[in-house]
Homo-oligomer: A and B are copies of this chain.
């Protein structure tokens, strides 16, 4: 690779714009440590919505180009795929075939078999592949994981993950989402694997449409719990809801042999009011881009760092596949009422 890493961002919607801006901030013009700023260039952005691509290109000093050019150009080292889900696998394969490193937003595909094929193709191409499970890079969840790995609470016994969105997405989105387990709980499956330190061998899930009957009518659920079990008997419980009046609620709690590590939410301010009604603090931050702003920055830095050092990026494509397999199993379990056994990894 050249002495600067040149990036192309494919898709500049909500997430793509964030990655593009974070890359530009790392590009030597503004902020960041010396190390982070050295040698990163946001070269291209690409989006079928030409106006959006032009605007962000102008803002960030990049060039808006077509997909073929973004992927194929010889002066691109890495592509960041933020396009609609059904294009992820093909674009990742094309980029890998062109020798580019790939960062791909989750999920790699809705179909596990397709993901397996993709992973084989990328492996053949020999290029790095990272999957966008941003929550691993949240400062609190990342610190919790480091402390877990340092042995602070001994061997993991029980992992509890809670995720609640402030409000359901549009019904149209839900209909094409693959269902709550694949669309929303997939993040929590990754988090549970991240924290369990072992692969689940059994999955049980049950779920309801309590928030909005229209979600149930559309064949999906909005309130769900899932239990995972690993070969050595470690347990995880996950709960999800499409509703949380008090903000975007994302918490994990890990119990080990000698204690507990827990991490939770941020509020906009530290203000406490005390009145006749009691003590009151702010709600949790409401929007996932706000909640995970720092995580997105750390995530792309981690990808840059992996490319710069030649270390395999993490979470990997295989992490993407395994979370998808858990989501598939949970979907089936919730449908049949039966726990689903998975082969030991």
B-binding residues in A (CB < 8 A): 21, 24-25, 28-31, 59-61, 139-140, 143-144, 147, 152-153, 155, 157-158, 160, 162, 164, 202, 204, 206-211, 223-225, 227, 229, 232-235, 237, 239, 241, 243-246, 249, 255, 257-284, 337-339
Contacts and interface: CB of A to CB of B under 8 A. Distances in A.
A273 B258 CA distance: 10
B273 A152 contact: yes
Contacts of A162: 160
A204 B206 contact: yes
A186 to B, nearest CB: 19
A80 to B, nearest CB: 17
A60 B28 CA distance: 9
A-B pairs with the 6 shortest C-beta distances? Answer: A208-B233, A246-B274, A259-B275, A140-B269, A260-B274, A278-B283
Contacts of A60: 29-30
A272 B272 CA distance: 14
B202 A337 contact: yes
B258 A245 contact: yes
A40 to B, nearest CB: 13
Contacts of A206: 202, 204, 227, 229, 235, 339
A159 to B, nearest CB: 10
B269 A263 contact: yes
Contact of A270 (B24, B25, B204, B264): B264
30 contacts: A29-B29, A29-B30, A30-B30, A152-B273, A152-B275, A157-B210, A158-B241, A202-B206, A202-B337, A206-B339, A207-B235, A208-B233, A224-B235, A225-B235, A227-B237, A244-B274, A245-B259, A246-B259, A246-B279, A258-B276, A260-B272, A262-B271, A263-B270, A263-B271, A263-B272, A264-B270, A277-B283, A278-B282, A279-B280, A337-B339
Given A271-B140, A271-B143, A257 B243 contact: yes
A30 B31 CA distance: 11
A29 B273 contact: no
Given A30-B30, A246-B278, A278-B281, A234 B259 contact: no
A271 B233 CA distance: 25
Nearest to A236: B225
Contacts of A24: 29-30
B157 A223 contact: yes
